[in-house]
């Protein structure tokens, strides 16, 4: 089962990706994880990516696709994979399809976790992150045992700049401009699975699994 998770920042696609990863026993892969692993291992692709990132530049689509394709060739992807946060644009989606075709593979489904913008802004404003270990919480959905304190390392929890309402609005604008066209792209291919992301987490998972089992 080869899956792509779509949805705006804060829609909960990462949470659903983790649950699907456990269900199908396939890896949950984010481009951030791929970048970090390659940079840490100082691979040829990782060194190239770091050279762009160090200059504050976006890593070119071609290099991102090469990094993703290289990751999908690893042994743990033999039963499938879940891509979270990639592709972000139509160019990346087309390049990914070509790379998978060369591997005699394809995307089985693109799962769109659909949440209205106003809900996302409220949801993100409630998120808190640990300044030390990076663990994340939510004032409504995932409270720490002690308010303002990380369960894991006992350090302070803060509202990240990325989660502030004005920043979230800007991120949503970018999403609608660049990433939302992917919904039409995968709809035309007949592989889009759309679910209501405002429901509770287990209900969303059940809805996704129901679509995927058809």
The reply to whether 36 belongs to the active site is no
Report d(CA 31, CA 84) in Å as an integer.
7
The reply to whether 88 belongs to the active site is yes
| Residues of the chain under the 70 pLDDT cut | none
Domains, in order of start, for the chain: 2-115+176-212 (3.40.50.300)
User: What pTM did the predictor assign?
Assistant: 0.84
Q: Which whole-number Å values give the CA distances from 137 to 78, 81, 127, 134, 168, in the listed order?
A: 33, 26, 6, 10, 17
Question: What is the per-residue DSSP string for 68-135?
Answer: HHHHHTSGGGTT-EEEES---SHHHHHHHHHHHHHTT----EEEEEE--HHHHHHHHHTEEEETTT--
The reply to whether 171 belongs to the active site is yes
Residue of 160, 169, 188, 210 marked active site: 160
pLDDT recorded at residue 55: 86
For the stretch 2-36, pLDDT in tens is 999 999 988 999 899 999 999 999 999 988 889 88
pLDDT recorded at residue 97: 96
pLDDT recorded at residue 68: 94
Residue of 18, 48, 122, 171 marked active site: 171
Residue of 123, 127, 128, 194 marked active site: 127
The reply to whether 127 belongs to the active site is yes
Residue of 18, 88, 122, 189 marked active site: 88
pLDDT recorded at residue 29: 94
The reply to whether 71 belongs to the active site is no
* Cβ pair 84, 5 in contact under 8 A: yes
């Amino acid at each position: 089962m080869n899956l792509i998770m779509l949805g705006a920042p804060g829609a909960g696609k990462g949470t659903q990706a983790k649950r699907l990863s456990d269900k199908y026993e396939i890896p949950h892969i984010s481009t951030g994880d791929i970048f970090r692993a390659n940079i840490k291992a100082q691979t040829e692709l990782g060194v190239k990516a770091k050279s762009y990132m160090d200059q504050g530049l976006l890593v070119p689509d071609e290099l991102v696709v090469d990094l993703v394709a290289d990751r999908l060739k690893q042994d743990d992807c033999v039963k499938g994979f879940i891509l979270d946060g990639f592709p972000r644009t139509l160019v990346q989606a087309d390049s990914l399809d070509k790379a998978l075709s060369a591997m005699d593979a394809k995307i089985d489904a693109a799962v769109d976790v659909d949440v209205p913008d106003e809900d996302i802004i409220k949801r993100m404003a409630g998120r808190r992150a640990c300044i030390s270990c990076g663990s994340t919480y939510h004032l409504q959905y995932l409270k720490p045992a002690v308010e303002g304190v990380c369960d894991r390392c006992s350090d302070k929890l803060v509202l990240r700049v990325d989660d502030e309402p004005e920043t979230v609005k800007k991120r949503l604008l970018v999403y609608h401009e660049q990433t939302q066209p992917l919904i039409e792209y995968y709809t035309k291919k007949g592989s889009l699975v759309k679910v209501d992301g405002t429901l509770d987490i287990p209900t969303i998972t059940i809805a996704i699994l129901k679509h995927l089992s058809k």
